[in-house]
A and B are shown apart, each in its own frame.
Chain A
């Protein structure tokens, strides 16, 4: 249901913003007409989906008693891992212009390896260093992509 509501809002915002653009005439459609049609279409589809889900909602379950109560789902830390993983990439992207590509790629690898469970520091360090050097050689030296050099100056 959350997705349907989010998509309905996205469609509504698109339609509202489109109305601020010239809509033109049927002979000469304007800039706003196509996105307006799409926004309205998305609102219609999202509303249909929301209604469909509402009608198909499960009936309220009988209150569980004693040993028959359903166990709570296990918290396996998936959200935490994804947030940490994504957070590391966000921080690395923010630091890329300042620290430069070689240092950022080394630190990013180190952080991501740690998040995914590579515990031994020397193993993580060696993999991160090897990856950073290999990427630097391939992308900067060989493919000559002007990646930021940052503090290190290369």
Chain B
């Protein structure tokens, strides 16, 4: 990490985001060549756009990393039912704040990406499901849509073509579960956002109003615009095979310069991100652990080694600083890149308190539909909170692990895994600290209160 040039950002999605001369108004977007790609796309056949997106290899930026082009291919086009497009702008994974930057600072990029995607899948209507905490974000989007409609970029007969598609901004109301795509769909239908059982039917077949529906993340939909601009093959050259394009990483926690940084996939390692790009840790601190992909991702311990084999058969042996920042890197290290939210913790952090903080989040956000999740999350919160209140017991780590293991795989949606993974990984990697808690119950004086 010494004497090396800091890796350079490559801003595609956030190209204009922090330009002081750039605003979120249409005039500004048009000056920078805005909506030219929509014009280009409308001259193509819808299936050609789908083919380019598939070729680009772009993977979903919301958390699961599923190839967007493949998702579109699953769409049931034979049913004759209307098709819907939904932009998932719920951005609720703790540690993630990238979609906010796009929507507040460059909303027309999202609208253009969405209208291209809507045309490609021949959607009848498109929605942006935005979290309710983004009050101004919803207003910015509403205004941008009105501007776009006036110029014929969305709504009736887009740019004089035969294709019409309206765009509706829909606000959530503060529930994390609405980021889960079937929970989001239920919420959009006006119901409690209890996720749906899948398989066998995914939203691409039975989604909104039981019609074929595509749900994509904000960043993913913005990428569609750039795929049309470059062509799928060119786009696929950015980043690495199976990890194409750029990603916006959101770094938070105890580094000198937290923030959002857009890099080509695999252009840098976790170590370079923390120590070069983010200016390193606070003075006098050392690295303790990193959660690489939003709070649901499994924690990585600073002194562990990650050893294994790549898909191509080559071996790897990484320290935490060597983990490549792309989709497959954190996955190979036993965690995931998720939504790109990197949470950094230094040696002052009481790991049991951090665990209690995360557990309180999941206990609050469980939708309550499945018993293992509803009850399990609450118990994990209660136990870890009690441990931090000075009443830790020796058997607590095993008890916590047993609860987490009974949630994982026993719920309708992936929230169960998202809530179980932190506990499982914290205890697997920091069991000593959980055991110690029973002996020294007090928080050390330079450690922050986290629960």
Q: Does A associate with B in a complex?
A: no
Residues of A within 8 A of B (CB): none
